A and B are shown apart, each in its own frame.
Chain A
Amino acid sequence: MIKIVQLKLSKIKYSGDSIGRDIRVEIEVLGRFLRIDKRIKAGTTVEIDREVGRFETDRGLFQAETLITVIERDLLFNDVGSAKGSVKINTAIIKPQQFVFEIQVRESRSLLSRLFWGKRTAIFEVTLEAQIGEIERYTPDTEDGWLVTQTSQGERVSLPAYITVHPKSIKNGREYFIPSEGTYRGELLSVPLKDDNSSYLISNVKHESMISAKYSISEKVFTLNGKKYKAIDYPEVPWEKGIYDIGIPDYPHGSNNTYTEAIRQKVWFPINFENARYLHVGARSAGCMTIIETTRWMEIYNALIKARKGDFKNVGVLKVID
């Protein structure tokens, strides 16, 4: 099974002689590079917690050459020390694994200062921490906004774009994965590999922070990111003032050819799951919040589809006002 190794710079311990306080640490692992500048006093330890990189592996032992350089920055003379080594990470261990590198930095000031203070050597203990995790992939944004997949019971279910999934295995040309959010969270699903054996799932998707939208009952206006959109609702079942969650789209709604100008019209965002009310594009409302500016639906779709509230169910919140 493919796993992800997250390697972090955990802490820096500064001992030995004091050679100054302006410390730069550079770490290079398998082409990933981290540089941090920090003011550290001799005799102290500072927590850093910065990611060096993420690496995918399907091996039981992940080994990587590591180069760490410590620089005490001075106006004229930088003091530099470095250490080469390797990290050997057991990918079967779930607990964090630590690797300590000792780097000696000898002060290299002018001849005059050497005469007075002698040669000073600082010792830096740089601790790297490896955490094993499941690899993350995302569903692609297809033409109609839905990726049809198969469950382990042989049912077909659809996922909207940018759902986080954990790939589990590839068997007989199919890729098995488990979504970590949305309607099918925790279900084992599969899609075939493409003709060129590449995956339908995509990487490097960055979810954005939750969106905050507003709806005015009296004006029939939906506001998102400062932009206003004309909407309608159903007067016999009016919206009540308050805060509602906007959910991750649940399943394909309607048909593809109702509004030729509205792309992704089959993607509706649930508002208040229990009462089956949605935010969607259309011309009429039987209880939903319907955006009637059909040509502008993609603006709303694009803003909502990658946003996340952090509860695995919702993309943000909607404030309904008078």
Chain B
Amino acid sequence: MPMSKKFFIIATVMMVIAILGSLFYWFKRHDNEIVGSDAVILNQPIIKWQKITITESDQNIAMYIRAPRIIISNNYRVDNEVNQAITRHIESLKDDFISAVSTAAEDNGETNILNVETGVLLATPRLISLAFTTIEHLAGVNDNEPEWTFIIFDLIKGELMVENNELFRDDIAWSRAVKMMKNYLLADYQGDPSCDLFFAPKYKGFAASCIGIDRSRRGEHLSITGDISMSMIQEFLAPSVLSDIIQ
């Protein structure tokens, strides 16, 4: 066999292998929606609890915080991101409280108390959904209703959900769901509420809160909480999220 013919056969075989390889990769990517061949498959998160107590005698402050530490054994980076997001959220709650103590509380010897209790609403290999119940007591000030705030972490993307729209089919579904949840929470409220909706998925439904003011009561603080059933929210949800919430 002449040298040029051999070279031609080898080149053709290599080209066929390359084309088949590309086609295999292309089908894999588009049929199964796998972005990378090394897709992240995380272990079920392990949750450990920590109690933090902070006291500041200068301002008569006591803060009691119960927060989870999330352990994802096979991905240190995601593990770190989740715990940083939890820390940032708690820091933000602490900052708000300390600022309110500085400018609203009275110096009457009473202790200003912040209580943050964290609940795990959902913990799957894909989602971590946490609810923070904040109860504050400021010296000399009437206590507000407890506030419910949330964070949702997408473990696959390794990032915090910002507006939580990733949970829904599309932006329109997100907007409709937001309106539906807000209307549901405020349905029986007597007054003139103006509030912002916060929500997060939980087992077979959503937890939601609306925090703001009541204009009919001289702009007093308003915090309404409630659960949204699966039957109400299901039609808006992204299929990929459904299994996490239902299972």
Instruction: State whether these chains interact.
Output: yes
Report the minimal beta-carbon distance from B115 to chain A, rounded to whole angstroms.
16
Cα distance A235–B106 when bound, in Å?
47
Cβ of B103 to closest chain A Cβ, rounded Å: 5
Task: Give A246-262 interface residues, CB cut-off 8 Å to B.
Answer: 250-251, 253-259
Asked if B31 lies at the interface with its beta carbon under 8 angstroms from chain A, I say no
Q: Which of A108-116, A152-160, A213-221 has 4 or more CB atoms under 8 Å from chain B?
A: A152-160
What residues of A have a CB within 8 angstroms of the CB of B92 in the complex? 255-257
Say yes or no: B142 contacts A256, CB within 8 Å.
no
Of the candidates B165, B179, B194, which one forms a contact with A251 in the assembled complex, judged by CB atoms under 8 Å apart?
Answer: B194
State in angstroms the CA–CA spacing of A173 and B108 once bound together.
11
Encode contact with B along A174-205: 1 for CB under 8 Å, 0 otherwise.
10000000011001000110000000100000
A155-B141, A259-B162, A285-B175 known; A192+B106 contact, CB < 8 A: yes
Given contacts A236-B176, A256-B92, contact A149 B219 (CB under 8 A): no
Question: Is B110 engaged at the interface, CB distance under 8 Å to the other chain?
Answer: no
A242 to chain B, nearest CB (A): 22
Q: How far is the CA of A192 from the CA of B60 in the complex (A)?
A: 15
Q: Name the residue of chain A whose CB is nearest to the CB of B58.
A: A195
Please report the C-alpha to C-alpha distance between residue A284 and residue B179 in the assembled complex, in whole angstroms: 13
Q: Is there a chain A Cβ closer than 8 Å to B221's Cβ?
A: yes
> Is B140 close to A, CB under 8 A?
yes
Within 8 A of A (CB), among B131-146: 138, 140-142, 144
- Report Cα–Cα, A192/B215, bound state, in Å: 25
Whether the Cβ atoms of B194 and A191 lie closer than 8 Å is no
Cα A81 to Cα B168 in complex, Å, equals 82
Within 8 Å by CB of B175, from A183, A187, A282, A286, lies A286
- Say if the beta carbon of B95 comes within 8 Å of chain A: yes
Q: Does residue B148 face the partner (Cβ distance < 8 Å to A)? A: no
**Chain A residue contacts of B175, Cβ below 8 A:** 234, 236, 284-287
Instruction: Tell me the minimal C-beta distance from A87 to chain B in angstroms.
Output: 38
Asked whether A251 and B213 contact (CB < 8 A) given A157-B219, A192-B103, the answer is yes
Contact, CB under 8 Å: B95 / A256: yes
B66 at the interface (CB under 8 A from A): no
B163 touches A173 (CB 8 A): no
Q: How far is the CB of A151 from chain B (nearest CB, A)?
A: 7
In the assembled complex, the Cα of A294 lies from the Cα of B166 at a distance in Å of: 19
B142 lies within 8 A of A154 (CB):
yes
Interface centre among B104, B144, B179 (most CB of A within 10 A): B104
Q: Which residues of A contact B176 (CB under 8 A)?
A: 236
Secondary structure dominating the interface of A = loop
Please tell me if the beta carbons of B96 and A156 are within 8 angstroms of each other in the complex.
no
B197-214 Cβ-contact flags toward A at 8 Å (1 or 0) = 000000000000000110
Q: A156-B144, A256-B92 are in contact. Are A148 and B174 (CB under 8 A)?
A: no
Are A149 and B103 closer than 8 Å at their CB atoms?
A: yes
Q: How far is the CB of B75 from chain A (nearest CB, A)?
A: 23
- B196 proximal to A (CB < 8 A): yes
Q: Is B82 an interface residue (CB 8 A)?
A: no
CB distance A148 to B104 under 8 Å? yes
Bound complex: CA of A240 vs CA of B191, how far in Å? 28
Chain B residues whose CB sits within 8 angstroms of the CB of A254 once the complex forms: 196
Do residues B218 and A151 form an inter-chain contact, with CB atoms below 8 A?
yes
List chain A residues, Cβ under 8 A from B99: 142-144, 148
B87 vs chain A, min Cβ distance (A): 10
A-side contacts of B174, CB under 8 Å: 284, 286
B218 touches A187 (CB 8 A): yes
Question: Is the CB–CB distance between B213 and A183 below 8 Å?
Answer: yes
B220 to chain A: closest residue by CB: A155
Return chain A residues, CB-CB under 8 Å to B102: 192
Q: How far is the CB of B141 from chain A (nearest CB, A)?
A: 5
What is B's interface to A at a CB cutoff of 8 Å?
88-89, 91-92, 95-96, 99-100, 102-107, 138, 140-142, 144, 149, 162-163, 165, 171-172, 174-176, 178-179, 194, 196, 212-213, 215, 218-221
Q: Offer 13 A-B interface pairs, CB within 8 angstroms, sorted by A.
A: A144-B95, A144-B96, A148-B104, A151-B218, A155-B218, A191-B103, A191-B104, A255-B89, A255-B92, A257-B88, A257-B91, A276-B194, A283-B162
